[in-house]
Structure 1
Amino acid sequence: MTFPPRFLPRLAQLVLGLFLYGIGISLMVRAGIGIAPWDVLTQGLSKQTGLAFGTLTNLIGLAVLLLWIPIRQRPGLGTVLNVLLIGPSAQFGLWLFPEFHGPWHQVPAFLAGLSVLALATGMYIGAAFGPGPRDGLMTGLHRRSGWPIGRVRTLIEAAVLLAGWAMGGNAGWGTLAFALAIGPMCAVTMRWFAATPARAEPCPGTG
């Protein structure tokens, strides 16, 4: 079997990036000072249903992927692996890390999680195997509606944040810090890991 040039290194970059993405999520969850909007939804659903955070991460990813059908968005290998791998990785991180208490522990844990997540974003998007389900929903709605992608992202993330918060998800100042910092941070890491020199995909919220 013959693979395209750099296929295997890109695949390794993708898988490692998705694993680290889940680890970054788990660190921010354990920090307890606020998490990304999609993770607020996941955490809220976990509290309401009793299902594990990692399991719900997978199920939400699959549900969002089904929303690609009416907007005619096509998944790639990276899309499928995103749905399959981030949930188990996040659940592993939640098993590995304890809950952090007090600002001297919570803030460094949150910043470490944010940094790992930004690094992971650059790795998995830079591998160029297709967007995650949530990113694809955002770009697909942007393409079909003609609305600016920033407006589409804001509307989607505001909706999932409010729904998650209403169900008990942890929306704190860390959520605001994530919203302000993740774009500039992953813009840098995407340049580090881009498979091709010119890539202009939007930085995601979570996968």
Structure 2
Amino acid sequence: MKQFYARLLRLICGLFLYALGIVVTMNAHMGYAPWDVFHVGFAKTIGISIGTVSIITGVIIGIITVLLGEKLGLGTILNMVLIGVFIDMLLGFHIIPVASNFMFGIIMLIVGLFIIALASYFYIESAFGAGPRDSLMFALTRKTGLPVGVCRGTIELLAVFVGWRLGGMIGIGTIISAFVIGFCVQTTFKLLKFDATEIKHETLDQTYKTLFNNKKEQFHEEEVLKKGL
């Protein structure tokens, strides 16, 4: 049971870091990452917070992936909710500086991408399932037979286009994010000696069974101790 809670803590830390990385890249004012272009554009259009848009988008995508036959994990559910909550919290506290010039913006952007890469390590290593956007990518890859890179690129280009039409900011940071995030993730994983392909993710039903069986075993042990006394 302690191992389960340790994994859960890593998951939540990863989601917080992911939100932190997003806010840092946004405050770099160099142009938002693909999904953030959509989130900001949609938030401006309907007048709600960026975090709320992230939550709504995650839930809708999660429903679509389930309809496409993908299984959700606890990490998928918490991803839908907590990243948006953490984004609004960080933006509301105004604790992340805003870039005042080009060089500071570039530095903030790169730092933000490395924070996201570190977040990916914690998130994936917890093995509680892929995020809703990644699940959609996997579902489309399985359904269409197209390469995963094509499916991911298509999804993100669509998110950028719609977000841009809704008022989301596109700039050099959008291009840098698209091309550099892979390098940041690869470098971070290499430094931490982490191989994401070795992780076997746990679905919601498997998590439930793990918790239920652990509680049954704990209850049985307590009954044995009572009888012994």
Give the TM-score normalised by structure 1.
0.88
- 1:12 paired to 2:16: no
- Which range moved further: 103-112 or 32-41? 103-112
1:19-53 CA-partner distances (Å, limit 9, x unpaired)? 01001101111111112111100000111111001
Report the AA paired with residue 70 of structure 1: L
Report the AA paired with residue 155 of structure 1: T
Between the aligned partners of 1:150 and 1:75, the Cα distance in structure 2 is 21
Q: Show the counterpart of 1:111.
A: 110
Between the aligned partners of 2:147 and 2:82, the Cα distance in structure 1 is 30
- Whether the aligned pair in 2 keeps the contact of 1:128 and 1:195 (CA below 8 Å) is no
**Larger Rg computed on CA atoms:** 2
Between the aligned partners of 2:143 and 2:41, the Cα distance in structure 1 is 30
Q: Show the counterpart of 1:72.
A: 69
Give the TM-score normalised by structure 2.
0.80
Between the aligned partners of 1:130 and 1:73, the Cα distance in structure 2 is 11
Correspondent of 1:91 among 79, 88, 92: 88
Correspondent of 1:81 among 73, 78, 81: 78
- 1:160 paired to 2:159: yes
Report the AA paired with residue 92 of structure 1: M
Cα deviation for residue 70 of structure 1 reads: 2.2
Between the aligned partners of 1:41 and 1:162, the Cα distance in structure 2 is 8
Distance 1:51 1:193, change over 3 A: farther
1:71-112 CA-partner distances (Å, limit 9, x unpaired)? 111100100110111011111222322432211322222122
Report the AA paired with residue 120 of structure 2: T
Q: Is there any run of 5+ residues in structure 2 with no aligned partner, and where?
A: 202-229
Task: Give 4+ residue runs of structure 1 displaced > 4 Å after superposition.
Answer: 193-197
Alignment partner of 1:6: what SS? helix
Correspondent of 1:37 among 34, 41, 49: 34
Alignment partner of 1:67: what SS? helix
- Whether the aligned pair in 2 keeps the contact of 1:121 and 1:189 (CA below 8 Å) is no
Distance 1:6 1:195, change over 3 A: farther
Between the aligned partners of 2:134 and 2:107, the Cα distance in structure 1 is 27
Report the AA paired with residue 184 of structure 1: F
- 1:189 paired to 2:188: yes
Q: Show the counterpart of 1:198.
A: 198
- Whether the aligned pair in 2 keeps the contact of 1:57 and 1:86 (CA below 8 Å) is yes
- Whether the aligned pair in 1 keeps the contact of 2:127 and 2:200 (CA below 8 Å) is no
Identity over the aligned pairs, expressed in percent? 35
| Equivalent runs, 1:56-67 vs 2, <5 Å | 56-67=53-64
Between the aligned partners of 2:193 and 2:170, the Cα distance in structure 1 is 30
Length, aligned pairs only: 198
Distance 1:87 1:193, change over 3 A: farther
Cα deviation for residue 189 of structure 1 reads: 3.3
Q: Show the counterpart of 2:51.
A: 54
